Structure formats: C-alpha cells, structure tokens
Amino acid sequence: MQLLLLLFCSLLLSNISEAKAVKVKVIVDEDYPPYSYAVNGNPQGIYINLIRKAANLLKNEYDFQFEAMPWKRALKEIELGHAFAILPPYIHRQARPYIGPYSVTLLTERVVTVCHPNTYLPALLAPSNLDLKDFSNKKPLNVGINAGYLMFDDRYKALIKSGAIKIWENKSTQSNLQKLLEKKLDCYVNDSRAIQFNLAQMPSALDIKFVEVDEISRQTAHIGFSNSEHIKFAYKEDLIHKLNQAILTIKEQHPEFKD
C-alpha cells in the first residue's frame, strides 16, 4: 500500500512539474545551412544545436518547440505574434521594430560578396567611381540575395538606386548559388561560411572558382524575441534573462559555438 502511495505521489509531482513548463515556440530559417535548416521538416544546424542545448538547461520551466519555415514567412509570423522568438536574425531595430530585444551573440558572421572572375563590381565600389560616369554604358550587374535578408550597406544602396546593380531575391543560399553557377547572376551576397558550406554540397561547383570581391560587414547573429503589438508574453523578461545565461554557459562549455 505504501509503495502504491509513493508511486502515486511521484507521478503526481512529475505531472505538476511538466505542467509548469511553458511552451515556447521558436521559428527558424529552414534554408540557411550550416546555421539553420530543415531536413524532412526537422530543424537542424549550428544555431539550432546551440539553442537546444541552452533550452535543455531550462526544461523544467520552459518547453522549447522549433518550427522551420521560409525566412520571409518567419518574419511575418513573428510580426503577427504567432511565435515568441525567431532564429537567427541580425540586429535591425529600425527595419524590424516587431523584433526585440535580441539575445546575447550566438556567433559573428562575415557578410561578403562573391562574383564571377573579372566582374566590374570592385570598380563600382571604388570611392573614385561613385559618380558612376564610367559605367553608364554598361548593363546593370545582377546581384542575388536570400529573400528577406537585410545585408547591404550604403555603398550598395547607392548602386541599387543608380541602377548600376539590380537585386534579385531568391529563396535560399543554394538557389542563389545555382543561379550564380548558371551565370544568371553576376554576384551573390551572404555569410562566407554559408556560401562555402553550400558550394561544397554542389558537385557542379567543384571546378568553378568564384572570387570574394568585398566584405560588406561583420554581423552578430541572435535569437530575436517578439515585440509584436498583437500579443504580449507574460514570461518574456524572465525567459530572456535565463536563456541568455544558458546560452553563455553552453558557449563556454562547447568550443564549436565560439567564434
């Protein structure tokens, strides 16, 4: 009888503990390997692994659930308040006021432009050629970028405005690189590690040499939290504080999550 009572109490306490865990929905980019991607719908990648390990330290209080989707849709979902967090945005407070605050840094990414050899983008970017007079008779350069990404600095924005370069948004890193291989694009902008990782997965790219012509910036990646006007999360402040501490703990324990 006492044994049955102990088992009952143990099950009851277990259920109470599980009931306390708040479900937390995190939406992630489905097509940004090696950082964040989906295999048969299952989120994977460097950032997913990092946040899962951090979330495991908080499992008694918070139950993290990850859902992968296209980046543009993910941004809309977070804007509408359909999820608590999004992974892995750069910090763009003015352009995306519906995201904030941001977590501690996950990793630092190096945003670069890769092009076919002999493209004239370096000449376009040269300070002495900002008036663009020498390029008025040339066709615009076709530059690819992942849909929904914000990566261009003022130099590129000026070239876009002038018509010297034309921007093409494509679904993923792989789709952009495929168009670069097919010479439908002259250049492509993204994180250098993501570019090299994806090129290594493409047999048709083994004999092709692209040239890194410019480093646009170095950007820190984060998990961004909902600042949507449509919903408020009562646990937001507590979870952000604890998750940041957990992320720092995991980064300290695991060298693969260090820059």
DSSP 163-182: TSEEEEEESSHHHHHHHHHT
Strand pairing report for 224-226 and 85-87: antiparallel
Rg (CA), the chain: 22
How high is the pLDDT of residue 155? 95
209: exposed, middle or buried (C-beta count within 10 Å: 0-12, 13-18, 19+)? exposed
45: exposed, middle or buried (C-beta count within 10 Å: 0-12, 13-18, 19+)? buried
State whether CATH 3.90.1200.10 applies to domain 110-219: no
How high is the pLDDT of residue 16? 45
pTM of structure: 0.84
Please, which residues have CB within 8 angstroms of residue 159's CB and are 6 or more apart in sequence? 124, 125, 132, 165
Q: Both tokens of residue 244?
A: 């940041």
CB 79 within 8 A of CB 208: no
How high is the pLDDT of residue 11? 52
Q: Looking at the chain, list the stretches that DSSP marks H as alpha helix, in order from N- to C-terminal side.
A: 2-20, 46-56, 71-79, 121-125, 154-162, 173-181, 192-200, 236-253
State whether CATH 3.40.190.10 applies to domain 14-107+221-257: yes
Between CA 50 and CA 252 the distance in angstroms is: 11
Beta bridge partners of residue 67, listed in sequence order: 27
Dump the DSSP string for 123-158. Answer: HHHSGGGTT-GGGTTSPPEEEEEETT-----HHHHH
- Whether 14-107+221-257 and 110-219 share one fold: the answer is yes
How high is the pLDDT of residue 62? 98
Taking the chain (259 residues) in runs of 10, the rounded mean pLDDT of each run is: 50 54 96 96 97 98 98 97 97 97 98 95 80 70 96 95 95 95 97 95 83 97 95 94 98 92
How high is the pLDDT of residue 129? 62
How high is the pLDDT of residue 164? 93
Domain locations in the chain? 14-107+221-257, 110-219
CB 71 within 8 A of CB 147: yes
Whose CA is closest to 50, among 251, 255, 218, 252? 251
